[in-house]
Structure 1
Amino acid sequence: MRLNYVETGPADAPVVLLGSSLGADQGMWAPQVDVLSKRFRVIAFDHRGHGRSDVPEGPYSIEELGGDVVGLLDALDVEQASYVGISLGGAVGLWLAQNAPDRFHRFVAICPPSNLAANPQPWIDRAAQVRAEGTQAIADATLGRWFLPEFKDIDPILQMLLDCPAEGYAACCEALSTLDLLPGLTSITAPVLLITTDSDTSVPPETVVPLATQIPGAHLEVIENAAHLVTYSHPDVINPLLLAHLG
């Protein structure tokens, strides 16, 4: 599996991976890359089926998405890294924390879904809709969940969503429909920063806040007056949290 990635920062600096939201590519991290790359070797990647990564036929699984990240580390000859992920990328991060602990120093999981298998049908339905009609069919609803109405700089993110391959988006929806990360949370040993927002309707805060009591030593931040794609809408709040946690 070939994952597309963009690398910035000093080649000899500690490595930080950035995993994106469902429907977005590595370009969504633009508000973070300049800040992080002053201190880290930043590798922002596209999940399988997204951006310029390979688009195999679905369905995908969280095991495949996480395994792709480990494969990327291997391909880059990186022994250990830290990981920052949002939404789908956050779920991948929690899977990696449970299943590849020797490859990672620290994790930041932003608005991460953890147990969508408890109600899989919406994700199965969305996968079917996108395969039939493309991502434009869900664009308005998605942006309405990602941003509060007063945030207007949405055109770059909208274009990413419209450019996302329909099969890749749908197959990742199917991965989310089987997602249940709860049983392994207590086994996580790496330091974890959990971030949620008070107005996230995609991954409601009441599903994220309890994770902080299940992951040993996890730190929780709740961002006010923000929706799902908080890294893009509120970098002035998010970036200092990332720098403080990643060290």
Structure 2
Amino acid sequence: MLKVANSYGKHIQVNGTTLWVEDTGEADLPVVLCLHSCFLDGSMFDGLVQAADGKFRVIRPDFRGQGRSALDDVDIITMDQCADDMEALIEKMELSSINVMAQSMGGDVAFRLIARRQALFRSLVVAGSSACGEPPEQGARFAQWVVDAGEQGFVGEILDMTMEVMFGKTTRNNPEKQELVAFWRDRIQALPKTLRPAMKGVMHRESSVELLASITIPVLIINGEEDMPRPPAWSDEMKRELPNSKLIRLSKIGHSPTLEAPEQVLPAIIDFFSNPRV
């Protein structure tokens, strides 16, 4: 997998916790703040760092309780709490005119954050994401998944389900993408049981649809037709509710477009951040 040489990590304390933050550090370049999926951490944006080289400063925090950030021994880490952390991090790093790259739960955090402090932000890309909560049937299935992962870890059927959630069927079965699939399967299998509070926060999130009408910065929505946890209809809802947005829909791609189709997605993201328009 990609090795990113021009990104440097450090721990930053905010809101009583410690976040791991990777930063390419170019003070003279416009900022891209990357908000990752649950399970995958900031390293999922390694490809974006390379694509943005010389064009953008890329900052990649791991959310509390995930990746290399501090664990949080609580029942649940909510999307609002993650938004609080990102707001505090932005203030501590003195960032402005921010472009946001948000994947899956990153979108749930981004909508809350931007609705609060819109003047800080320039544009937003949401990939494999949505603004609604889980519908009852899917929510019940995912709630049990949280319990099982917290008790047993990411093994057996729990690991299989996580891979089905994170990657489309076509990607999982594509011989040319088996290195990618195996890499993330190994990473997910190694996740600790202590991910449960963060995972629970995603599965029990409240809707943020009511916030979308207030978000007027340009938004690019990227959705895969095979996205099981955040299906196309949910992206259509975001497109309807966001006043300044456009939608790219990808065939044979699932929940992680930046990983499953980087050759299509990364140039589109860089182009959008370079000239946000819809």
On whether the aligned pair clears a TM of 0.5, the verdict is yes
Tell me how far 1:216 sits from its aligned partner. Answer: 0.3
What are the superposed Cα offsets for residues 60-107 of structure 1, whole Å, 9 maximum, x if unpaired? 111101111112112212234111011111221222222221221111
Tell me how far 1:17 sits from its aligned partner. Answer: 0.8
Tell me how far 1:117 sits from its aligned partner. Answer: 4.4
Equivalent residue, structure 2, for 1:25: 41
Structure 1: runs of 5 or more not aligned: none
Is 1:13 the counterpart of 2:29 in the alignment?
yes
Structure 2: runs of 5 or more not aligned: 1-16
Is 1:75 the counterpart of 2:73 in the alignment?
no
TM-score (norm 2): 0.83
| 2:147–2:196 CA contact under 8 A, matched in 1 | no
For 1:169 and 1:241, locate their aligned partners in 2 and report how far apart those are by CA, in whole Å.
34
For 1:165 and 1:213, locate their aligned partners in 2 and report how far apart those are by CA, in whole Å.
38
For 2:233 and 2:75, locate their aligned partners in 1 and report how far apart those are by CA, in whole Å.
30
Q: 1:209 is paired with a residue of what secondary structure?
A: helix
**C-alpha spacing 1:186/1:124, structure 2 compared with 1 (3 Å):** same
| 1:202–1:228 CA contact under 8 A, matched in 2 | yes
Equivalent residue, structure 2, for 1:43: 59
What are the superposed Cα offsets for residues 156-183 of structure 1, whole Å, 9 maximum, x if unpaired? 3223323333233443333431320111
Is 1:144 the counterpart of 2:164 in the alignment?
yes
- Give 1:205's match in structure 2, choosing from 214, 232, 239: 232
For 1:55 and 1:222, locate their aligned partners in 2 and report how far apart those are by CA, in whole Å.
35
Structure 1: which amino acid aligns with 2:54? Answer: K
| 2:33–2:60 CA contact under 8 A, matched in 1 | yes
Structure 2: which amino acid aligns with 1:47? Answer: F
Mapping of residues 54-133 of structure 1, within 5 Å: 54-56=70-72, 57-119=74-136, 120-133=139-152
- Give 1:187's match in structure 2, choosing from 184, 199, 214: 214
Q: 1:24 is paired with a residue of what secondary structure?
A: coil
For 2:99 and 2:189, locate their aligned partners in 1 and report how far apart those are by CA, in whole Å.
30
For 2:24 and 2:40, locate their aligned partners in 1 and report how far apart those are by CA, in whole Å.
19
| 1:97–1:107 CA contact under 8 A, matched in 2 | no
**C-alpha spacing 1:214/1:125, structure 2 compared with 1 (3 Å):** same
Larger C-alpha radius of gyration, 1 or 2?
2
State the 4+ residue runs in structure 1 displaced beyond 4 angstroms: none
Q: 1:97 is paired with a residue of what secondary structure?
A: helix
| 1:14–1:40 CA contact under 8 A, matched in 2 | yes
RMSD: 1.7
Structure 1 stretch displaced more, 31-40 or 160-169: 160-169
Is 1:135 the counterpart of 2:151 in the alignment?
no
Aligned length in residues? 247
Structure 1: which amino acid aligns with 2:66? Answer: H
**C-alpha spacing 1:179/1:123, structure 2 compared with 1 (3 Å):** farther
Higher RCO, Cα 8 Å, sep 6+: 1
Structure 1: which amino acid aligns with 2:140? Answer: Q
**C-alpha spacing 1:166/1:104, structure 2 compared with 1 (3 Å):** farther
Q: 1:5 is paired with a residue of what secondary structure?
A: strand
Structure 1 stretch displaced more, 1-10 or 33-42: 1-10
For 1:68 and 1:123, locate their aligned partners in 2 and report how far apart those are by CA, in whole Å.
25
- Give 1:237's match in structure 2, choosing from 264, 269, 274: 264
